[in-house]
Structure 1
Amino acid sequence: MIRTVLAVLLSVALLAAVAPGIDEGRRSRTATHLDDATDRIERAAHSLRAHEDPTRPGVTGARRVVRVRVPATSWSAAGATLRIEGEGDRIGYRLDGRPPHWTTLRGLDLRTPAGPVALERPGEHRLVVSLVRDRGVGVVIARD
């Protein structure tokens, strides 16, 4: 009986010792995944600027579809949200309610006509990146 109690206490102590490392690993893995998603969105926007002609608002033109997966909270992934703001030409993500990490997309006039695009539900989301000529040339990002 004493051995069983000692084994349980030792297991609990070991779990308490490694839990912070597990949490940091989950956050690091999820941040790497969302940094990659940010890079793919930025590459799609720069590709449009470099290779396509902008169209007037409401006119269908060249576009890129970027699939982004927001991970669900699990043993290997932290809870996350992704937000795209045209106002500041930036994309940010928040992990487990911590302060957001923002990336400013330089050289792009990012636009989100329906307000900021917020991906809060876990799962796959499709974003449409298009090029528009209205008060200059802008890159529009919207949900598909």
Structure 2
Amino acid sequence: MIRVVLACLLTVAIASVAFPAADAARADATTVEVGTIANDIAHAAASLAATEDPTPTGLAGARRYVAVSVPSGSWRAAGVSRLTIRGGDGVELAATTASGPTVVRRVGGPRVRVAGERLVFAPGEHRLRLTLQADSAGPVVVVEPA
């Protein structure tokens, strides 16, 4: 009987040490995924701005498409309840995880304007269309849902 009680206590003690470490690893994996998404968008914007000429507003210009996979949660990564994309000098992503904390990643690059000031995505697969345009301040990469 004592062996059974000791085995149960040992199992609980090991689980109490392992579960927080697993949650931290899942949060770190989500942070890496958000950083990868930000890098992909920034790379496409930089490539577009470096290799193409901007067109006046209203005319179809050069485009790039980026697939975005917002993690819904798994045994490997924490789920993201909302991914927000903002522009500026480069791109900024803010991912609110299901467990509460928000992960923010900024990647510099060309001037970026997001349709509607910001884009908000739920977990799942999404496509973005990046278009190079010109405005009074010079070339700008416009990001919008495809």
5+ long unaligned stretches in structure 1: none
The answer to whether 1:31 aligns with 2:31 is yes
1:64 aligned residue: 64
Per-residue CA deviation, residues 71-108 of structure 1 (Å, 9 max, x unaligned), is: 112221112232211257531233332144231424x2
Number of matched pairs:
142
1:43 aligned residue: 43
TM-score normalized with structure 1 length: 0.85
The answer to whether 1:97 aligns with 2:104 is no
Q: Which amino acid aligns with 1:85?
A: R
State how far apart, in whole Å, the 1-side matches of 2:64 and 2:93 are.
Answer: 20
- 1:1-144 equivalences in 2 (<5 Å): 2-80=2-80, 81-86=82-87, 89-94=90-95, 95=97, 96-106=99-109, 108-119=110-121, 121-135=122-136, 136-144=138-146
- 1:61 shift after superposition: 1.8
SS at match of 2:56: coil
TM-score normalized with structure 2 length: 0.84
State how far apart, in whole Å, the 1-side matches of 2:54 and 2:74 are.
Answer: 42
State how far apart, in whole Å, the 1-side matches of 2:131 and 2:27 are.
Answer: 31
The answer as to whether partners of 1:89 and 1:111 remain within 8 angstroms in 2 is no
Q: Which has the higher strand share?
A: 2
State how far apart, in whole Å, the 2-side matches of 1:140 and 1:132 are.
Answer: 7
